[in-house]
Structure formats: structure tokens, C-alpha cells
Amino acid sequence: MDVVTQRPLRLALVGNPNCGKTALFNALTGTRQKVANYPGVTVERRAGRVTGHHLDAEIEVIDLPGTYSLRAHSADEEVTRDVVTGRFEAEAPPDGVICVVDATNLRRHLRFVLELKGLGLPVVVALNMIDLAERDGLDIDVDRLSHLLDVPVVPTSALRRRGLDMLIGTVETTLAKPPVAEPSDGTRTSASASPGDAAPSRRDLRALQAEAKRIAAQAIRAEGREHALTRRLDAVLLHPVAGPVILTVLLFLVFQAVFSWAEAPMNWIDGGIVALQGLIARTLPAGALNDVLVDGVLAGVGSVVIFLPQILILFTFILLLEMTGYMVRAAFLMDRLMAGVGLNGRAFIPLLSSFACAIPGIMAARTIDHPRDRLTTILIAPLMTCSARLPVYALIIAAFIPDRQLGGLANLQGVVMFGLYLAGVVSALVIAFILKLTLSRGQAQPLIMELPKYQIPSLTTLAIGLLERAKIFLARAGKVILVVSIVLWGLASFPGPPPGATEPAIFYSIAGWIGRGLEVVLAPIGFDWQIATALVPGMAAREVVVGALGTVYAMSGEVTEASLAGTLRSAWSLPTALSFLAWYVFAPQCISTMAVIRRETNSARMPLFVAAYMFALAYLAAFITYRVSSAFLGA
């Protein structure tokens, strides 16, 4: 390849699942990465840049989905296969491939190296997790391994940042050499092999497996001890009694932490926004601009940004559970229960991700091989309590549920929050069961998954994951919520009140009209026209309703307290608040989720179906909650 052309070198990072590929990618590229979607398919394209070691040029690294073999079983495995074989239209074939191999699991991972070699692309092997291998007493003859494979091998450790420079340097040297004319098996001439030719046949696979075994046996000088810690941890964490208890306690602690740890930073943000509102109100001349900034923009955006600490805490836990390898154990523990409702344990991971956001959750369902299981998972994922519901729950709970200790162990607010999460989970399981009996009857699908060794989480990967989430959340607050807040302010301000009006101005505005129209339908569940008004922009995204309530009440002149929580406390009855919570457990108030369901299922009917069943559930739940609590509390 001509170096003078200055097109950056493009490398694909591939490997088996659980080989530490993503950690290595993060260690190489740091924050210089871009996440997007491949057009047409819903597989994440993760690309980053790294500065060359010898040549002072940028190198683009693409992190491809992990796969056990080029014989793809699922949508993201197909992307990996198609990119490295040059059959993927949206991605030019890479100049070379870094195959990440788990040093502690050489036999199996080498088979994939051999498969890749057959493609004729330059391959460099990153012998990753070498630190763990050494600790376990495993001794690999790297030179011999490289010789036997006939490709360069570089020992690396993403966690300890070992071998990274050398890896890049080796890749550059390898690519600088003239390409090897013939691929190793001599049958394929280039990466543009005809479709069907790229993936090895089953017979090839067995031959490669035997060869991988032979190479591993020759390259390993001393077999390591078994990873004793993983075994000991699993004896407890997968114990038939202790395991489920620990899982429940762990999830419970996460939700307690989300509440208590976030309190201080949330107060700072709140204080900052109130101060800013005061400053603008004082310095700008009174008028429309002053109003739109204070009541529209700051009230709307501010009441959402405040939930950033809680979302980051929740994501910290989810990412940590994923990185340490516990998430797969949770799937193991949950599998039998999930099978009871026609799902498999693998669905636990998309569903747990949906606690953060249904969109990555629905996309993560791609890892489920079977179309029917995948569809069921997609249809119930929006019932998992996503982080966008968190601002809504947090606001209402803070306003209406007393901050009281229960038996010195738990906090009542935390218990209510946990209950709301539980309600989402239970209803999802019930819906899945109903789907199993009706829409998606059939045989149980297999569960086969690797239980990787427990690992110390990489702080770089955690930091990058959190940064990505914070960016997405703030971008949404910045764009969607900003626009919605301003539009809502406009709708709520015009037309102005008639002379001699007895109600607040918003009552006579367009927003008031819409709200009062909806009130007819929503009155039986305890919602007044102000709530109804806020629900409309709340269709864009769940957390928007918080900002919208902020705007609506600010403009109703019913702001009796400094905070929105205080305002709601004086405006709503307790049954209304509870009914509102019940509504938000189910209501499909998220356009993006509907869009992603449409894209993932490739059907316009599916999102409509989801919206219909969720609205029905929401109305029913809110109705029952409102009626029952009114009867008990005498509202």
C-alpha cells in the first residue's frame, strides 16, 4: 500500500467474546472514539483513532462485535464476518486485522486466528490478559507461537497498559511489508472471495480446531493453575440459595445508592440553577425574553439536568457488573425463571441494560440468536424501568413519600423506588408469559453461554462508558428538552387571557385547551389539566415531563415553593401522585423507543402494538391506584 496517499490505515479489532477486546480498544484509543450505527443494520460501529508508533500518522481502529467464529449465528456476528471479508457495503475492507486472544484460553481462541488467516488479510495477534496468565503460572512461548501461526504475536494487557505501543508498532511493520501473495490455504485469492466462501465449513472448523489445539500444545511451556478465585467466587455467587439472595440484595443496594449518593450533587445543581434563574430575572429587563429564559429554558432543562448524578450512579453499577463478569452469572441464576415465561437467560442482559435505557437494551437483543425470543425480549424491554423514568420517580417520591427509616435498614423512599422497579419487572414477565401463550408459541430455545473469569474492571472503560452516557443524556436535555420547553412555553403563553380572567393565563392558552381536552379522559385516573398538558410534550421522552411540569406550573402562577417538588406537593393529592407513578411504570412516553422497535423488528405494526398495550396497562394501573388509594386515604 502506498504510504504517500495519506489515507489513514484502518485496522479491525476482532476476537472471541470475553477476550478483553473492548478494554484493549479503550486502552488504545482512549476518548478518541466515535460511536455510531451501521446503516441498515442496528449494530454499533465503534471506531477510534490512535497515533502511529513508527509513522507519525493516525490509524483508525474499528472495534468489531465479538464472535467465536466466522460462521456467524447472530446479526452482530454477521457484521464482523462481512467487514473482515470485505463484503460489507458500508465499510471498506480493513487494511489489517488485530485478533485479540485470551492468553489464558489459548486453545479455543487460536482457532479464530486460523480462520482469519485464511482470509488473506494481514493479521497481528494481541495475546491479551498476559498478566492474568502469568499470575496463574501459565507460560507461553511467544516466539514459538508466532512461528507456528506464521503471524506476529504481541503480549498485551489492556488493564496494565502493557504492550500497547509494541502492538501498534508491529501492526505498522506488518502492513509496510508487501502483502503476502497467497493466503495460507492457497485456495482463496483475496478478501473479495465470493459469498459463502468466506465462512469455513463445519469440516474446516473441526480441522482448524485440531490445528489450534496442536499449536497451543506446542507453544505452552507450562500449563497454569485453574483460576481458583473465579471458582471460589462462583461457589458462593452461583450457589442455589446464596446466589439468588446475593443478586436480590445487590440490586436492592444499587437502587438505594442511586438515591442516597446522588443527593448532595443534585442539591448543588439545583442551587446553581435557582441562582442562575435569579441572576437572569434580575439583570435582564422584564419581558418575553426574560420569561422564556427563566420559565422556559432554565425551568425545563434545569429540572432534567439535575438527574445526571443519579443516571451516572446507575450506569456505574451496570457497567461494573458487566465488566467484572457478574452480569452473565445473573443471567445464569435467572435463566430458569425466564424460561418459565418463554425467555432465555440471555434475555436477562438486554433487559437489565433496559434499566439504563430501553434503546441499547432493545439493540442488545441482537445477541439472541432466535428470532422469536428476540422479538419477545424487544416487546417487553420498554417495561423495564429506564433511567429516563428516574427523574419522574425521583421528583414524585421526593415530593410525596416521607424520608423515613424503616427498621434502621432501609429508607422508605428507596423502598418505594425499588417497588416501582419491581412492578416493571413483574409486569414484563407477565406480558412475556402471555406472549408465549399467544403470539409466540413454540419450543424452548437453547441457552449456551460462556461464564468468563471474574475480572478487575478497567477504570478507563468505566470512565469512557460514563462519559458516553453523560453526553447522550445532556445532548438530549440540550436539544429535545430545550426545544420542547420553548415550544411549550409558547403554546402556554398564547393566546393571552381575556380581560377579567379568573384563572391563570395558561388556562386560556393553546396548551391549556389541549390539556383541558385530555382532562376529560384523564380525570378518572386523577390527572388535572396541568398534568395532561405536561404529558403531551412528555411523549418525546419520559424525563421531558419533569421539565414540562416545571414550565406548566411556573406559568400557572402556582409556584408556591422554590422547588418543583414543593409546588407539586401543594398542587396534587397523594392519590394523584401515586396514580402518576403507576402511569409512568407503563406509559410508552418515548418516541425514540418506538422508532428503535420499528427499526429492529422492521415492522410498523410492532411499535403500534407496544404503544397500545403499554397505554392500556398505564391507564388500568393508574385507574386502580387512584381509586384504591382514594378509598383508603379519603382524597
Partner 1 sequence: MRNGDAAQRLGSLQPRMCGRVVGLTGADPCTDGGDPVTERLRELGFEEGASFEVLHQGPVWGDPMAVRVDSVTVALRRREANSVIVNLTVETDAVQVGAVEAG
Q: Applying CB under 8 A, which residues contact partner 1?
A: 68-69, 71, 73, 104-105, 107-108, 202-203, 205-206, 209, 225-226, 230-231, 234-235, 238-241, 243-244, 328, 331-333, 335-337, 339, 345, 369, 444, 446-452
What is the Cα–Cα distance from 431 to 448, expressed in whole angstroms?
A: 24
Q: State in angstroms the smallest separation of the CB of 33 from partner 1.
A: 29
What is the Cα–Cα distance from 585 to 582, expressed in whole angstroms?
A: 5
Q: State in angstroms the smallest separation of the CB of 238 from partner 1.
A: 4
Q: Between 107 and 372, name the residue whose CB sits nearer to partner 1.
A: 107
Q: State in angstroms the smallest separation of the CB of 28 from partner 1.
A: 26
Q: Between 20 and 382, name the residue whose CB sits nearer to partner 1.
A: 20
Q: Between 91 and 234, name the residue whose CB sits nearer to partner 1.
A: 234
Residue 261 identity (one-letter amino acid): W
Please choose, from the candidates 128, 126, 23, 118, the residue with its C-alpha nearest in 3D space to the C-alpha of residue 71. 118
Q: State in angstroms the smallest separation of the CB of 452 from partner 1.
A: 8
| Cell numbers linked to 206 | 473441526
Q: Between 369 and 468, name the residue whose CB sits nearer to partner 1.
A: 369
Residue 505 neighbours by CB distance under 10 Å: 17
The answer to whether the CB of 281 falls within 8 A of the CB of 443 is: no
Provide the angle, in degrees to the nearest 10, between the axes of the packed helices 21-29 and 459-476.
80
Block residue for cell numbers 424503616: 406
The answer to whether the CB of 367 falls within 8 A of the CB of 349 is: yes
The answer to whether the CB of 125 falls within 8 A of the CB of 149 is: yes
| Cell numbers linked to 510 | 393553546
Residue 1 neighbours by CB distance under 10 Å: 12
Q: Please give the sequence-ordered ranges of beta strands (E in DSSP) within 195-269, or none if there are none.
A: 220-222
What is the Cα–Cα distance from 219 to 143, expressed in whole angstroms?
A: 8
- What single-letter DSSP state applies at residue 507? G
Please choose, from the candidates 3, 8, 329, 30, the residue with its C-alpha nearest in 3D space to the C-alpha of residue 158. 30
Q: State in angstroms the smallest separation of the CB of 202 from partner 1.
A: 5
Q: State in angstroms the smallest separation of the CB of 210 from partner 1.
A: 9
Q: Quick one: which H or E segment has residue 148?
A: helix 142-149
What is the Cα–Cα distance from 505 to 495, expressed in whole angstroms?
A: 9
What is the Cα–Cα distance from 416 to 255, expressed in whole angstroms?
A: 10
Q: Between 451 and 514, name the residue whose CB sits nearer to partner 1.
A: 451
Q: Between 207 and 257, name the residue whose CB sits nearer to partner 1.
A: 207
Q: State in angstroms the smallest separation of the CB of 219 from partner 1.
A: 14
What is the Cα–Cα distance from 626 to 620, expressed in whole angstroms?
A: 10
Q: State in angstroms the smallest separation of the CB of 324 from partner 1.
A: 15
Please choose, from the candidates 486, 514, 528, the residue with its C-alpha nearest in 3D space to the C-alpha of residue 289. 486
Residue 264 neighbours by CB distance under 10 Å: 9
Q: Please give the sequence-ordered ranges of beta strands (E in DSSP) within 43-202, or none if there are none.
A: 44-51, 58-63, 96-102, 123-128, 139-140, 153-155
Q: Between 14 and 394, name the residue whose CB sits nearer to partner 1.
A: 14
Q: Between 116 and 167, name the residue whose CB sits nearer to partner 1.
A: 116
Q: Between 125 and 359, name the residue whose CB sits nearer to partner 1.
A: 125
DSSP 3-state of 406 = strand
Q: State in angstroms the smallest separation of the CB of 369 from partner 1.
A: 7
Q: State in angstroms the smallest separation of the CB of 443 from partner 1.
A: 10
Q: Between 230 and 592, name the residue whose CB sits nearer to partner 1.
A: 230
Q: State in angstroms the smallest separation of the CB of 192 from partner 1.
A: 26
Q: Between 32 and 73, name the residue whose CB sits nearer to partner 1.
A: 73
Q: Quick one: which H or E segment has residue 9?
A: strand 9-15
Please choose, from the candidates 422, 427, 397, the residue with its C-alpha nearest in 3D space to the C-alpha of residue 412. 397
Q: Between 215 and 581, name the residue whose CB sits nearer to partner 1.
A: 215
Q: Between 298 and 334, name the residue whose CB sits nearer to partner 1.
A: 334
Q: Between 410 and 451, name the residue whose CB sits nearer to partner 1.
A: 451
What is the Cα–Cα distance from 326 to 352, expressed in whole angstroms?
A: 12
Q: State in angstroms the smallest separation of the CB of 601 from partner 1.
A: 22
Residue 510 neighbours by CB distance under 10 Å: 15
41: alpha, beta or left, given left = phi > 0 and alpha = psi -120 to 50?
beta
Q: Between 328 and 435, name the residue whose CB sits nearer to partner 1.
A: 328
What is the Cα–Cα distance from 541 to 382, expressed in whole angstroms?
A: 12
Q: Quick one: which H or E segment has residue 81?
A: helix 75-84
The distance from CA 329 to its chain's CA centroid, rounded to whole angstroms, is 18
Q: Between 141 and 468, name the residue whose CB sits nearer to partner 1.
A: 141
∠ CA 548-554-559, rounded to 5°: 125
- What single-letter DSSP state applies at residue 562? S
- CA neighbours closer than 13 Å in the CB half-sphere of residue 564: 28
Q: State in angstroms the smallest separation of the CB of 226 from partner 1.
A: 5
Q: State in angstroms the smallest separation of the CB of 225 from partner 1.
A: 5
Please choose, from the candidates 186, 183, 220, the residue with its C-alpha nearest in 3D space to the C-alpha of residue 84. 183
Q: State in angstroms the smallest separation of the CB of 352 from partner 1.
A: 16
Q: State in angstroms the smallest separation of the CB of 337 from partner 1.
A: 6
